[in-house]
Chain A
């Protein structure tokens, strides 16, 4: 670390007003990379340099600026005049652009690395950085992971500027704030912290800002790394921040009083703080009718429980609690298991692990066959295994059901927790039956109650029970009744809308 520290010191010293020394240092720092372009310009004995990174800038813009520098319409000198400061010069030549004025070597390099064109003149104590960012980027397209049937279909891309604009376009309020920071010593990734002034609780914003500031690492390549650094607890399988590709999710979260974190280079943005119920919600819930939205939410909760508990319950009932099974079903199950060599537990593990392998394989395979492999593969292999007498029919059904229920969860990281914990529960079930399963469930619940996301209890709205927030947890009340922002986030401005006119008895249609 000390080498970098020393270097940082040297770099933070103010710029020398000599173009040649600038050139020397920059060339030394950047080495002989092919994409670093540095040109000298001069004007009446004044030397200057223009430098930029070819791969980071829009080459057309460079041409335009070069043209601007060549032709200074009134025939005045385009170099800096006597005693002219960089700012005056900049605003004189580049009237319509938002310029930056780096004053130290570090800042100059940062700007070059971020796609600016930097101009250093003799005699100026600051350099002029002109924004000409360019380079190839992916166009805004549909999200790959969180698709909806009804609702907006744009998703974030890898460019943080595009992402910021996607959010800004949805919240056209002057209170929306973006705070930049750069993290990662080698990657120097741009991070934006978003919040809405006047809604978000200040303590939450401060806490998030502080945690981001504490990150000292070599590289940040994805929001997942940020998540790992600022999360309250790394030991839990449950995600404590929500990551999403969808701008409407982020916008919705911001309006509820959360903070968002955008990371350059990844389409996944983070929302913090979150409670466990946010992992069962999708923005689509709000675009569909509230009956169906409520129903689908319940299905999600049930599906999660099934994905977690079903194999364990099946194993424990089949090996310990035979009296729970109705007689006719028991006879059928016994008939199926005749000749199967493995105990139920081993069967369960075999099938579950096979399913996991298939699932992973399905993700890595080329698109065309990937889909078919995972589902059909599981069923076909399962069927073949049954015919061969390795497993019983019932087990194939259980495992497929579990796998399908796993996919219902809108958040991949949350569903992963179910994938992991289910094995633990199967082991407990095989040793102590339903008693073991229940102990496992109690441990998981106890663990959940102790979790916090940026200080907000993870199980908020259920325990502690906040009555006012119930309009959006297990059921979704229609929009005109959804008056308040969630109290768990303690927002500064609680009321979103007033009582609708039809409830107040006034004439006039619609809500709000």
Chain B
């Protein structure tokens, strides 16, 4: 051989080109999966529903009045099997890397059948930071079937809703798959999952006509959250409680507080624009002591009571009202979780691990009673910055006094 190196190299190149490519997939043969829903199956253990995007409908050029996504279900003994066999109905290779939403039905959660999450974690196509929710009062597959005129693919719409819900009011915990798995891994922390439900008529909701009405027939809305013990659902928390949980966890930034301002039947509303939470735990004398201190910045959005907002003392009084209200709320939620569910969704155990490692090691095997027994102290510091672009409200102006016997008819002449 005259040039052994060169011939070797040529044979390598030939080998490459002649033998074919293994991971080569053309886009025409693929379909993007945007959402996956898992229910309990009728004939088999799991029923998996995929929402697949129809790309022609998403770009403005090729719109032809069809639905932007297609939903298909299949049942199987395991989620993996169902996913693989989904091609009995759908003609393309599924691309799972762009999944935005994983929905689990309440049934599955109650029965604790969440072991398929291991598949999601180790498969390279599924992302760990995909949004993970459960349904409350509807089967999971229905949530993927409701269309909406603004965001046409239902998975995308639900995700946008959740993100905004978290930002604007704190109504959704925005749990990702990863958070759930981390909580599962922890010795003491219990998982929490956001919940959604379908309102309205599902049959009408999954048609193109749903998008053409002013008032859609069916809508998916946020419904609080579900508390778990390990992988089993214990119960639900309302939207308000969910917000308080987020507050304790320090994940809440903005929200709105509305409560009575002192005069009967009158309300005041405050926009919380910034809040920060500090937590301390201490285990002494056989009892866990939890200190939660929250400080918030707010401004008054609307005040029905007659309060002079230009007076410093009044502002202080309002601040104290806010503090009292919030402490009440938060203590109430923590108490509820402690006593009704006995599940440490807040992560106080992990905090103890950091602050008193040895003590934690002793207690972690039997954490529920410790958590249930714990002494919780909540301290809120509220700060009212301003009241919008006006100071005193025009509502303060006392109405004119009308003489009583001047009751003229209001009919025109």
Contact = CB atoms under 8 A, between A and B. Distances in A.
Interface stretch (B22-30, B253-261, B294-302, B366-374): B22-30
Given A319-B24, A322-B97, A344-B26, A338 B56 contact: yes
B44 to A, nearest CB: 30
B59 A332 contact: yes
A7 interface: no
B27 A331 contact: no
Nearest to B97: A323
Given A330-B32, A431-B17, A320 B58 contact: no
Given A318-B27, A323-B98, 8 more contacts: A322-B25, A322-B30, A322-B97, A332-B55, A332-B59, A335-B56, A339-B28, A344-B26
A337 B32 contact: no
A431 B125 CA distance: 21
Interface in B10-54: 16-17, 21, 23-28, 30, 32, 34, 53
Given A318-B27, A343-B26, A432-B16, A331 B32 contact: yes
Interface of B: 16-17, 21, 23-28, 30, 32, 34, 53, 55-56, 58-59, 61-62, 95, 97-98, 100, 125
A338 B27 CA distance: 8
Contact of A430 (B24, B27, B97): B24
A338 B98 CA distance: 19
Contact of A433 (B16, B23, B61): B23
A318 B100 CA distance: 20
23 contacts: A318-B27, A319-B27, A320-B23, A320-B25, A322-B27, A322-B30, A322-B95, A330-B98, A331-B53, A331-B55, A331-B59, A334-B27, A335-B55, A335-B56, A335-B58, A336-B59, A337-B27, A338-B28, A338-B55, A338-B62, A430-B24, A431-B21, A432-B16
A340 interface: yes
Q: Which of A335, A338, A427 has the most CB of B within 10 A?
A: A335
A333 B27 contact: yes
A335 B62 contact: yes
A327 interface: yes
Nearest to A428: B16
Interface residues of A, number: 24
A334 B17 contact: no
A320 B124 CA distance: 14
Contact of B98 (A327, A333, A430, A432): A327
Contacts of A318: 27
A320 B21 CA distance: 10
Nearest to B13: A427
A320 B95 contact: no
A340 B32 CA distance: 18
Contacts of B34: 327
B26 A334 contact: no
Q: Which of B16, B24, B26, B34 has the most CB of A within 10 A?
A: B24
Contacts of A337: 26-28
Contacts of B100: 327
Q: Which of B17, B25, B28, B32 has the most CB of A within 10 A?
A: B28
Nearest to B99: A327
A427 B27 CA distance: 18
Nearest to B16: A431
A25 to B, nearest CB: 49
Interface in A401-431: 427, 430-431
B100 to A, nearest CB: 8
Instruction: Give the top 7 A-B pairs by smallest Cβ distance, nearest first.
Output: A323-B97, A334-B55, A335-B55, A335-B59, A331-B58, A327-B98, A331-B55
A427 B13 CA distance: 10
Q: Which of B34, B58, B95, B98 has the most CB of A within 10 A?
A: B98
Nearest to A341: B28
A318 B27 CA distance: 7
Q: Which of A331, A427, A430 has the most CB of B within 10 A?
A: A331
Nearest to B59: A335
Nearest to A333: B27
A323 B130 CA distance: 14
Contacts of A430: 21, 24
Contacts of B98: 322-323, 327, 330
Contacts of B24: 319-320, 430-431, 433
B65 to A, nearest CB: 15
Contacts of A333: 27
Nearest to B56: A335
Nearest to A433: B23
Contacts of A344: 26-27
A339 B56 CA distance: 11
B74 to A, nearest CB: 23
A235 B55 CA distance: 47
Contacts of A433: 23-24
A398 to B, nearest CB: 14
B261 to A, nearest CB: 46
A131 to B, nearest CB: 52
A319 B25 contact: yes
A375 to B, nearest CB: 25
B153 to A, nearest CB: 9
A427 B16 CA distance: 10
A338 to B, nearest CB: 6
Interface in A426-478: 427, 430-433
Contacts of A330: 32, 98
A388 B354 CA distance: 66
Given A322-B95, A432-B16, A327 B32 contact: yes
Given A322-B95, A331-B32, A335-B59, A427 B25 contact: no
B243 to A, nearest CB: 29
B42 to A, nearest CB: 33
A393 to B, nearest CB: 10
Interface string A39-73: 00000000000000000000000000000000000
A334 B57 CA distance: 11
A319 B26 contact: yes
Contacts of A431: 16-17, 21, 24
A235 to B, nearest CB: 10
A433 B23 CA distance: 8
